[in-house]
Structure 1
Amino acid sequence: MSSIPKLGLGTWQNTESDECAKSVQTALEIGYKHIDTAQVYENEEHVGKGIKEADIDRDDFFLASKVWIDQLSEENVVPSMEESLEKLGVDKVDLMYIHWPSGDYQPEETLEAMQELVEKGMAKNIGVSNFTPEQVDEAMGIAGEDIIANQVEMHPLLQQEELLEKCREHDITLVAYSPLARGKVFDIPELNEIADKHGVSEAQVSLAWLMQKDGVVAIPKASSEEHIRDNHEAQDLELDEEDVEKIESIDREEREVDPGFAPW
């Protein structure tokens, strides 16, 4: 399994320049080792500003971005990546994802173009995002060990057991986005009980549950220092077997991100 830091800062919908830059700077200075962005978030430049202002050695944190669906043709992947690097103000990223298997995505052509990013030294690794188990199999058959992660929605209301097993089978990391179910974790009775028991927030419970799983990384989005710190403290929470069983017995399945072009 890859060495992607277990907790990252998600930046989706964090598009206001100063706020986004400040959240990235704050996270890095607090001790986050993983920052996640994407071309379509329209904030790579702001993320780059936050990285610069944090003055943290580039080798001390993991940086990931994603190629949007209209840039996935063989001829567009590399030029779009060059633009991303310029906006981020870095020479390379640690991980570049295919954001969705949609739009201009053609498995062989797109994945070979993504592998070119590694060959050119623009990305250390490549990943996929929002891929189904079948699509993970297909991608691994083409690009193999260059793929280190599949980033998908995962939280107590969408537990992704089948997909996690598929990722483990291929020795790739499942990176969980929307790990707080867009705030719904605060209204789940089981999480309320566990949070009260440990004297922590429901957000920390959800994040701890994810991070205790083998092969799972969580990237909660946060912009305020309070939430950035609260999420960071989830790394200190150890859930016991009873807590885990209570979460995994939740009999609800609610997907928060479900665009019309999704593969499921």
Structure 2
Amino acid sequence: MTIPLLETALTRMPALGFGTWPMRGAECRAAVESALGMGYRHVDTAEMYGNEDAVGAALAASGLPREQLYLTTKVWNDKPKGAEIRRAAEASLERLRQPYVDLLLIHWPSPQLDLPDALASLARMREEGLARAVGVANFPLGLLRRAMELGIAPLACLQVEHHVYLDQSRLLAYCREKELLLTSYTPVAKGEVLQDPVIGRIARKHGKTAGQVALAWLLGMEGVAAIPKAASPERQRENMEAATLRLDTEDQAALAALPKDRRMVNPGIAPDWES
């Protein structure tokens, strides 16, 4: 099965990726090996996940040519300065056993973040080939706009929580205007979609699962990728098959009518989402 590619001037990302949080160790390695064997080519990890070594082992075991893989990692929010971000990124590359990542993100903003210095570090790492593309995660619209307007680093992607219960249309509109891709994490709302009668009805109509409907809703959007986690081969295959599901106008209207104010990931370090 061919997964669609999202392409901008700055990056070419498979629209469906493989999320690895919160898997670690042997479980993570086995899951990534299984996903790669099935045809996934976009893998998402992070320093904070504590699984970059397992992801790196799986990538090495796959035997796949490096240019066929799209690898994302993220630097944690306790590195507010550019030099710290660079050291963390270099350590990530060591654990991943990779000369570069395809996308390097600042994982969460913090009040201490020196944004110009951080962006300058991202830009340098991109120029030096340690990261093919750079971006940010969990930035609210105001901070994303500021990062873009500084013009220091050519940001390629924003990664945020995004699913059928959370409206991210303001961020998505800005990303499209600026030619940034938007990667959706928690795309099946931590499994909440599986109990939803509206989504269940649409799933039965198409002979699919509720999770596949939720993923198809995201993958049908211009410039949007999704990175569901799935430990079992059965769920990995199910998620991959969502890329072929086309929702009709009636389905879209029913999904659009669902409440869009449910945030599943809102830790104490989170920014003011309305800022």
TM-score band, normalised by the shorter chain? over 0.9
Alignment equivalent of 1:5, drawn from 14, 33, 40: 14
Q: Is the 8 A contact 1:92 1:124 kept in 2?
A: yes
1:144 Cα offset (Å): 5.9
In the aligned structure 2, how far is the partner of 1:145 from the partner of 1:113?
A: 8
* 1:88-167 matches, cutoff 5 A: 88-102=96-110, 104-143=112-151, 146-167=154-175
Unaligned runs of 5+ in 1: none
The residue number in structure 1 matching 2:48 is 40
In the aligned structure 1, how far is the partner of 2:269 from the partner of 2:32?
A: 30
* 1:19-38 matches, cutoff 5 A: 19-38=27-46
Alignment equivalent of 1:218, drawn from 221, 226, 231: 226
In the aligned structure 1, how far is the partner of 2:80 from the partner of 2:56?
A: 23
Deviations, residues 177-222 of structure 1 (Å, cap 9, x unaligned): 0001000010112111111101111111011110010010000011
Q: Is the 8 A contact 2:158 2:180 kept in 1?
A: yes
SS in 2 for 1:13: coil
Q: Is 1:255 matched with 2:255?
A: no
Over the residues paired in the alignment, what is the CA RMSD in angstroms? 1.2
SS in 2 for 1:114: helix
In the aligned structure 2, how far is the partner of 1:103 from the partner of 1:85?
A: 26
* 1:237-252 matches, cutoff 5 A: 237-252=245-260
In the aligned structure 1, how far is the partner of 2:250 from the partner of 2:155?
A: 35
- Where in structure 1 do 4 or more consecutive aligned residues deviate above 2 Å? 142-145
The residue number in structure 2 matching 1:62 is 70
Unaligned runs of 5+ in 2: 1-7
In the aligned structure 1, how far is the partner of 2:33 from the partner of 2:167?
A: 31
1:103 Cα offset (Å): 5.5
In the aligned structure 1, how far is the partner of 2:150 from the partner of 2:239?
A: 36
The residue type paired with residue 76 of structure 1 is E
Q: Is the 8 A contact 1:70 1:103 kept in 2?
A: no
SS in 1 for 2:14: coil
1:78 Cα offset (Å): 1.3
Deviations, residues 116-150 of structure 1 (Å, cap 9, x unaligned): 11122100010110011111111111246621110
1:113 Cα offset (Å): 1.1
Q: Is the 8 A contact 1:19 1:223 kept in 2?
A: yes
Q: Is 1:171 matched with 2:179?
A: yes
1:251 Cα offset (Å): 2.3
SS in 1 for 2:136: strand
The residue type paired with residue 206 of structure 2 is H
The residue type paired with residue 227 of structure 2 is I
Deviations, residues 75-107 of structure 1 (Å, cap 9, x unaligned): 211111111001001100000001011164211
1:245 Cα offset (Å): 1.1
Q: Is 1:236 matched with 2:244?
A: yes
1:252 Cα offset (Å): 4.3
SS in 1 for 2:13: coil
SS in 2 for 1:227: helix
The residue number in structure 1 matching 2:26 is 18
